[in-house]
């Protein structure tokens, strides 16, 4: 794979830091000549999944998703062709890092839920499923907002699947992916799969505990088994009057798609109906 | 939720009588109990009294030789084979059934279904049947709402919830306005003591309602008042047990209706008592306790006239009218403006029944085979499961489903 020095020369920006390798891409935080800080992702040229990610983000205005400024290509010294993608930098930390220190309180949780559901409403309209909503892919910005990143395994429902038809397991992160993703029931995959992941993320963010996993799972099969079978605890969240919020979160992460809200739009409407009844005031 | 009348043997006058006292009478007509000639004349009488009719073609057991059913032009003992082989057969079948719907001037068209025995291929066969019949109906039927019959064997309803959710997911795709649900009770039970069976019914009904489909539940009794929690549009019930629970004994001659005892339905106990046990209550001076306060009607005045109930002229006809009138009132009382209130009303109904049954038993008054005693927990369990799985969806969709 291409070296950091080679990349620095090509992009003509100075690399502030290199993030740990993420799948097939290298990710850097860079500063350009005008001192703007940006994200640069370097990937093998022509990767279908990356092209779809670029297409989804650039062709649609998705709120709380970092903007893609530019996509360029170059060839390294050994003749291998690459794309590099220049993206908006959101200053902050991932939700994973945040949760290592603190859980979210109910006001923060409602804000995160609102942001994620607003994103899924747009995704639903453009027939896209993110398929990888998890704390690692959520940025808690320094100004107290939340952003969803990494559309690397997003699925465009009106385009052919990039996963082999015979595949038994679809792309997802175990523990956050809905059962229909790992059972790879393609016909059942739609925005409701993202609603499931949002439910898991919110449960974990608010309670500090994963709804299905204990952390000592033996292997991925056990994670899948627990996702399919474990009933999340009926948790009491401070400020959750009549347990309405936890009921909503549990509804989002029902293992049967038929028991989740039928659409992201409906889920967002219900969230907006639920918030005033909690009597929290403000957002 | 409304109460429809599930037409059965000898129910014509009852329908006409209720048309005078109830505001809105809906009856599901049964070709098993009416000849085609009677259908023509009776439906005119019903129409005159503003009774709305639906026509259930009762194709549940296509190979049966029922003497009245076989007089209908759509009836064909080989239908089972044809349904899965001949493409044009469905259109002919639907056209014939449609002609009877025109006679009774139905506003809703019921697509028939076969009560298939459950096995591993059940869902596939059900899907294949349904798709063909819906396609044929869409070609033939105009200007009527379309309800697809779901004829569900008891073994299917005693499976894990996964299969029911699969059915719900498939049903969402069907181009119909609603569903007419018929369920087979396990072991022919009148009041069913299997909580999974009831829970699966509740989940199915709620799932279909949440997709915006109309749901009418046929062959029901007081155990199905709990369907108010799934916001089912109507349950249908009738006089004899063969219209209060679905039975696979469609070949029975009329004489099979056994008139051994007259049963008095005590709504607060959700149980029925034989006159002989009302006599025990009379002797124990607790009969007055069995007079319903909330669900009172004139049909039961004789029982509480101050003499031994069995020595009065209280009979089957009055018992049936009382049962249906009280059932309708109970349904009204349990149909509330929110899911939470509806659940609460059902819980009160069940806990009241528990106390009343206990009180009567302490006084030697038993409902025997028609006691709701062992059913209370079954209904509580099914409602609890519904709350856990679809409670939020129902609460927030209640006014739009």
User: Which chain A residue lies closest to B208 (C-alpha atoms)?
Assistant: A258
Same domain, residue pair A9 and A139: no
CA distance B133 to B38: 27
Let me know if residue B118 belongs to a domain. Answer: yes
Same domain, residue pair B286 and B208: no
Name the minimum distance, in Å, from the CA of B200 to any CA of chain A: 13
Let me know if residue A283 belongs to a domain. Answer: no
Q: State the DSSP code for A3.
A: -
Residue B214, pLDDT > 50, answer: yes
Same domain, residue pair B146 and B49: yes
Residue numbers in B near A261 (CB within 8 A): 393
Residue A254: count of CB within 10 angstroms of its CB = 23
Let me know if residue A139 belongs to a domain. Answer: yes
Q: Is any Cβ of chain A less than 8 angstroms from the Cβ of B393? A: yes
| A193 within 8 A of A259, measured Cβ to Cβ | no
pLDDT at A186: 72
Residue B66, pLDDT > 50, answer: yes
Phi, psi of A198 (to 5 degrees): -60, -40
**Which of A258, A272, A276 should one mutate to test binding to chain B, selecting the residue with the greatest count of B CBs within 10 A?**
A258
Let me know if residue B401 belongs to a domain. Answer: no
| A106 within 8 A of A237, measured Cβ to Cβ | yes
Same domain, residue pair A84 and A96: no
Antiparallel, parallel or unpaired: β A26-31 and A37-44: antiparallel
Residue numbers in A near B390 (CB within 8 A): 251, 259
Name the minimum distance, in Å, from the CA of B232 to any CA of chain A: 17
Domain endpoint, select from B233, B255, B277: B255
In B58-97, the residues whose Cβ lies within 8 Å of chain A are none
Residue numbers in B near A244 (CB within 8 A): 392
Same domain, residue pair A84 and A100: no
Let me know if residue B399 belongs to a domain. Answer: no
CATH assignment of the domain containing A43: 3.30.200.20
CA distance B133 to B330: 36
| A43 within 8 A of A82, measured Cβ to Cβ | yes
CB contact under 8 A, B396 and A247: no
pLDDT at A49: 81
Name the minimum distance, in Å, from the CA of A11 to any CA of chain B: 50
Residue numbers in B near A270 (CB within 8 A): 392, 396
pLDDT-based confidence at B78, cuts 50/70/90? low
Residues in a beta bridge with A128: A156
Same domain, residue pair A45 and A148: no
Average pLDDT over chain B, rounded to whole? 93
Range B348-369 average pLDDT? 97
CA distance A217 to A225: 10
Domain endpoint, select from B212, B238, B255: B255
List the domain range (segments joined by +) for residue B245: 2-255
| Choice among A40-54, B5-19, B239-253, B261-275 with the minimum mean pLDDT | B239-253
CB contact under 8 A, A258 and B393: no
Same domain, residue pair B272 and B224: no
pLDDT at A163: 62
User: Which chain B residue lies closest to A229 (C-alpha atoms)?
Assistant: B162
Name the minimum distance, in Å, from the CA of A264 to any CA of chain B: 13
CATH assignment of the domain containing B245: 3.20.20.70
Range B335-362 average pLDDT? 97
Overall number of domains in chain B: 2
| B352 within 8 A of A217, measured Cβ to Cβ | no
Catalytic residue check, A13: no
Let me know if residue B400 belongs to a domain. Answer: no
CB contact under 8 A, B161 and A261: no
Range B138-145 average pLDDT? 95
CA distance B138 to B136: 5
Closest CA relative to residue B178, chosen from B204, B216, B151: B216
Q: Is any Cβ of chain A less than 8 angstroms from the Cβ of B321? A: no
User: Which chain B residue lies closest to A188 (C-alpha atoms)?
Assistant: B169
CB contact under 8 A, B207 and A259: yes
Q: Which of A47, A132, A150, A240 is catalytic?
A: A132
Task: Nearest by CB to B169, from A231, A244, A257: name it.
Answer: A257
Closest CA relative to residue A184, chosen from A200, A198, A197, A171: A171
Same domain, residue pair A175 and A208: yes
Domain endpoint, select from A27, A58, A88: A88
Same domain, residue pair A129 and A184: yes
Residue numbers in A near B165 (CB within 8 A): 256, 258-259
Same domain, residue pair A16 and A63: yes
Same domain, residue pair B268 and B246: no
Same domain, residue pair A118 and A83: no
User: Which chain B residue lies closest to A251 (C-alpha atoms)?
Assistant: B392
| Choice among A44-48, A145-149, B270-274, B285-289 with the minimum mean pLDDT | A44-48
ipTM of the complex: 0.83
- In this predicted model, what pLDDT tens digit does every residue of B291-302 receive, in sequence order? 988 888 999 999
- What Rg do the C-alpha atoms of chain A give, in angstroms? 19
Same domain, residue pair A12 and A104: no
Vertex A111, ends A108 and A113: CA angle to 5°? 110
CA distance B312 to B324: 21
Residue numbers in B near A277 (CB within 8 A): none
CA distance A52 to B146: 42
Domain endpoint, select from B195, B227, B255: B255
Same domain, residue pair A63 and A189: no
Same domain, residue pair B61 and B91: yes
List the domain range (segments joined by +) for residue A252: 92-278
Same domain, residue pair A139 and A210: yes
pLDDT at A183: 77
Burial of A194 (0-12, 13-18, 19+ CB in 10 A): buried
Let me know if residue B111 belongs to a domain. Answer: yes
CB contact under 8 A, A251 and B393: yes
Overall number of domains in chain A: 2
Share of chain B above pLDDT 70, in %: 95
- In this predicted model, what pLDDT tens digit does every residue of B162-202 receive, in sequence order? 999 999 999 999 999 999 999 999 999 999 999 999 999 99
pLDDT-based confidence at B23, cuts 50/70/90? confident
User: Which chain A residue lies closest to B169 (C-alpha atoms)?
Assistant: A258
CB contact under 8 A, B162 and A259: no
**Which of B396, B398, B399, B400 should one mutate to test binding to chain A, selecting the residue with the greatest count of A CBs within 10 A?**
B396
pLDDT at A283: 47
Same domain, residue pair A121 and A249: yes
Per-residue pLDDT of chain A (283 residues; tens, 9 = 90+): 677 788 888 877 888 888 887 667 888 999 988 888 999 988 888 888 888 889 999 999 899 999 999 998 888 888 889 888 999 999 999 999 999 999 999 999 999 999 999 999 999 999 999 999 999 999 999 999 999 998 888 888 887 666 655 566 667 778 899 998 887 677 778 999 999 999 999 999 999 999 988 877 778 888 887 888 887 877 889 999 889 999 999 999 999 999 999 999 999 999 999 999 888 865 4
Residue B43: count of CB within 10 angstroms of its CB = 21
Closest CA relative to residue A273, chosen from B105, B393, B175, B86: B393
């Amino acid at each position: 794979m291409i070296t950091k020095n080679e990349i620095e020369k090509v992009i003509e920006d100075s690399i502030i830091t290199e993030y740990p390798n993420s799948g097939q891409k290298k990710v850097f935080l860079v500063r350009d000549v005008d001192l703007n800080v940006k994200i640069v992702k370097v990937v093998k040229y022509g990767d279908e999944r990356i092209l779809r990610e670029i297409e989804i983000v650039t062709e649609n205005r998705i709120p709380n998703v970092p903007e893609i400024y530019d996509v360029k290509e170059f060839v390294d010294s050994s003749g291998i062709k690459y794309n590099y993608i220049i993206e908006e930098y959101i200053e902050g930390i991932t939700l994973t890092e945040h949760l290592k220190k603190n859980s979210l309180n109910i006001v923060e949780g409602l804000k995160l839920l609102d942001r994620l559901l607003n994103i899924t409403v747009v995704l639903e309209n453009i027939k896209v499923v993110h398929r990888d909503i998890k704390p690692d892919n959520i940025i808690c910005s320094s100004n107290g907002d939340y952003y969803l990143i990494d559309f690397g395994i997003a699925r465009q429902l009106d385009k052919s699947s990039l996963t082999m038809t015979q595949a038994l397991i679809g792309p997802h992160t175990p523990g956050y992916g809905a059962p229909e993703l790992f059972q790879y029931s393609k016909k059942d995959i739609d925005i409701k799969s993202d609603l499931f992941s949002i439910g898991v993320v919110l449960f974990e963010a608010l309670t500090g505990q994963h709804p299905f996993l204990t952390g000592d799972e033996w292997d991925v099969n056990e994670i899948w088994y627990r996702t399919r079978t474990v009933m999340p605890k009926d948790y009491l969240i401070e400020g959750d009057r009549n347990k309405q919020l936890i009921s909503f979160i549990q509804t989002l992460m029902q293992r049967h798609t038929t028991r989740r809200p039928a659409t992201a739009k409906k889920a967002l409407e219900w969230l907006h109906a639920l918030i005033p009844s909690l009597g929290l005031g403000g957002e | 939720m409304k109460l429809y009348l599930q037409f059965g043997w000898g129910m014509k006058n009852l329908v006409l009588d209720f048309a005078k006292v109830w505001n809105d009478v809906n009856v599901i007509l049964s070709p098993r109990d009416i000849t085609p000639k009677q259908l023509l004349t009776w439906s005119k009488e019903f129409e005159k009294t503003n009774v709305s009719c639906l026509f259930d073609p009762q194709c549940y057991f296509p190979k049966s030789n029922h003497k009245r059913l076989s007089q209908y032009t759509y009836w064909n003992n080989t239908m089972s084979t044809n349904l899965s082989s001949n493409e044009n057969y469905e259109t002919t079948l639907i056209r014939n059934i449609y002609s009877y719907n025109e006679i009774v001037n139905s506003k809703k068209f019921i697509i028939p279904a076969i009560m298939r025995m459950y096995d591993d291929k059940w869902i596939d066969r059900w899907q294949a049947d349904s798709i063909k019949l819906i396609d044929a109906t869409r070609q033939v039927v105009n200007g009527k709402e379309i309800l697809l019959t779901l004829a569900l064997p008891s073994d299917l309803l005693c499976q894990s919830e996964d299969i029911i959710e699969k059915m719900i997911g498939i049903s969402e795709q069907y181009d119909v306005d609603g569903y007419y649900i018929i369920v087979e009770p396990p072991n022919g039970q009148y009041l069913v003591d299997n909580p999974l069976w009831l829970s699966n019914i509740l989940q199915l009904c709620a799932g279909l309602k949440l997709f915006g489909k109309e749901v009418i539940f046929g062959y029901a009794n007081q155990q199905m008042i709990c369907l108010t929690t799934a916001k089912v549009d109507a349950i249908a019930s009738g006089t004899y047990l063969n219209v209060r629970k679905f039975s696979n004994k469609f070949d029975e001659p009329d004489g099979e209706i056994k008139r051994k005892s007259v049963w008095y339905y005590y709504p607060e106990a959700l149980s029925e008592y034989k006159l002989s046990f009302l006599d025990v209550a009379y002797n124990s001076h607790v009969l007055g306790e069995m007079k319903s306060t909330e669900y009172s009607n004139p049909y039961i005045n004789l029982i509480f006239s101050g003499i031994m109930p069995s020595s009065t002229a209280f009979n089957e006809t009055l018992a049936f009218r009382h049962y249906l009138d009280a059932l309708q009132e109970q349904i009204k009382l349990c149909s509330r403006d929110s899911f939470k209130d509806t659940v609460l009303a059902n819980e009160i109904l069940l806990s009241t029944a528990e106390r009343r049954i206990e009180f009567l038993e302490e006084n030697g008054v038993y409902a025997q085979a028609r006691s709701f005693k062992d059913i209370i927990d079954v209904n509580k369990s099914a409602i609890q499961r519904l709350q856990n799985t679809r409670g939020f969806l129902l609460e927030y969709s209640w006014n739009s489903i």
